[in-house]
Structure 1
């Protein structure tokens, strides 16, 4: 069976990323004849946020504004309408904190090492957008890690250290140097990319295209 390796560069607090991940799941189902390997790659939309996070509504108003051309309001309404078809219920109004996501990306990294990367990414997105949990909080991250099957005690110990902190930052910079400026970004076999939360049919076509190309041994990452 042909195999396609896909690096998904994303951030947990990006609603388009969660939508994109759901579309990706649907896309894979459209091409069952092609085996896919999904690797979750870190990208912080704003790495300057302090470890304790900031008030979500204040942050979004500062970033997008709240005047007659309220981009955040328009984006929010679009996503709340698009979400249910992908099995997502976005509840932006109740999100209390815009967290720093570095530690969440560390958890995804460790989960991926145990073939739980998809479960970690999905659970963290749900925790933020639907459950309104502070995914910058170490206790919350430890609990969520345990829920997906990681050893919570080990994760708590790792989070209290600097383990893999620099590795995540270096990996993020690698993709920024490749030219990734927005997420989600799907990189197929390290050869070409599809940016944004594209429809499942578009991603399925990209899988077929990647499978038809000569394989490159030097995949991204």
Structure 2
């Protein structure tokens, strides 16, 4: 490609999902590998378990109930820890006390993408929430933690605190999450390239980079504007 083609990737994810943390890191690497493409990333909401109460649940019991026994949970954590080390993630599962309801976190992520927020704030918020949850073992459902993440991303923490005290964007986010499920998104992360091509799961950076390059090339040829065959 003679000029940098721009494509948009909508990342459907949940900051309570360790695989989404891996996916974020691998996407960052993929963008570096596909440096001839101008990639614009937007973060979209998903909740692995919207039934978790607003105050959260004790994580160990919640995870044991989910996995069924200690050995399966330990094996999952060990695998994620190993994969995380490759990507520079220091998973700290043993220290985590709370399984949070992430709806407020998704509200913050949406506000980070507002034109009123500093450039790049949304990506910084997502990164900080993943770090706070999985590396620092903090409760990302707590408002003080969310406002701290906002401040770290250069957002107006006082405004965020006021918005969190309201019902701003609650219904629209719930509708967006429901829409993702209706689209067939049953697991995350899901990378939606140019609103047309979905890459499911925390794929290796090379796989994501190849998808980015292929979609960018198709866009440059004008193929994305053509109606798809039945």
Query: Which digits, 9 at most, give the CA deviation of each residue in 1:107-157, with x for residues without a partner?
Result: 000011133111011000000001111110112111221111110100000
- 1:216 Cα offset (Å): 4.6
Q: Counterpart in 1 of 2:8?
A: 5
Q: Distance in 1 between matches of 2:15 and 2:157?
A: 20
Deviation at 1:170, TM superposition (A): 1.3
Higher mean C-alpha displacement, 190-199 vs 41-50: 190-199
Partner-residue secondary structure (3-state), 1:215 = helix
Stretches of structure 2 that go unaligned for 5 or more consecutive residues are none
- Structure 1 residue ranges (4+ consecutive) displaced by more than 2 angstroms after TM superposition: 212-217
1:77 corresponds in structure 2 to: 78
Q: How much has 1:161 moved relative to structure 2?
A: 0.1
TM-score normalized by structure 2? 0.91
What's 2:127 paired with?
122
Q: Kindly report which structure 2 residues correspond to 1:87-102, keeping only aligned pairs within 5 A, or say none.
A: 87-102=88-103
SS at match of 1:4: strand
How far apart are the structure 2 equivalents of 1:177 and 1:60?
Answer: 26
Are 1:60 and 2:69 counterparts?
no
Describe the superposition over 1:164-200 as per-residue Cα deviations: whole angstroms up to 9, x where unpaired: 1111111111211111000000011111111111100
- In the other structure, the counterpart of 2:33 is 30
Preserved CA contact (<8 Å) 1:13 1:128: yes
CA distance in 2, matches of 1:81, 1:140: 27
Instruction: Give 1:171-190 correspondences, 5 Å limit.
Output: 171-190=176-195
Q: Which has the larger radius of gyration?
A: 2
Structure 1: gaps spanning 5 or more residues: none
Cα contact 1:20–1:198 (8 A) shared by 2: yes
Q: Which deviations, in whole Å up to 9, do the C-alpha atoms of 1:10-64 show, x marking residues without a partner? A: 0001000000000000000001110011010000000000000000000000001
Q: CA deviation at 1:210?
A: 1.1
1:215 paired to 2:219: no
CA distance in structure 2 between the aligned counterparts of 1:91 and 1:12, rounded to whole angstroms: 15
Shift of 1:215: 3.2
Q: Secondary structure at the match of 1:36?
A: strand
8 Å Cα contact 1:30-1:204 kept in structure 2: yes
2:214 matched to 1:200?
A: no
CA distance in structure 1 between the aligned counterparts of 2:144 and 2:94, rounded to whole angstroms: 24
Instruction: Output the CA distance in 2 between the equivalents of 1:201 and 1:42.
Output: 25
Length-normalised TM-score, structure 1:
0.94
Residue 21 of structure 1: aligned partner: 24
Q: Counterpart of 1:157?
A: 162
Tell me which residue corresponds to 1:86.
87
SS of 1:100's equivalent in the other structure is coil
Of 195-204 and 110-119, the range deviating more from structure 2: 110-119
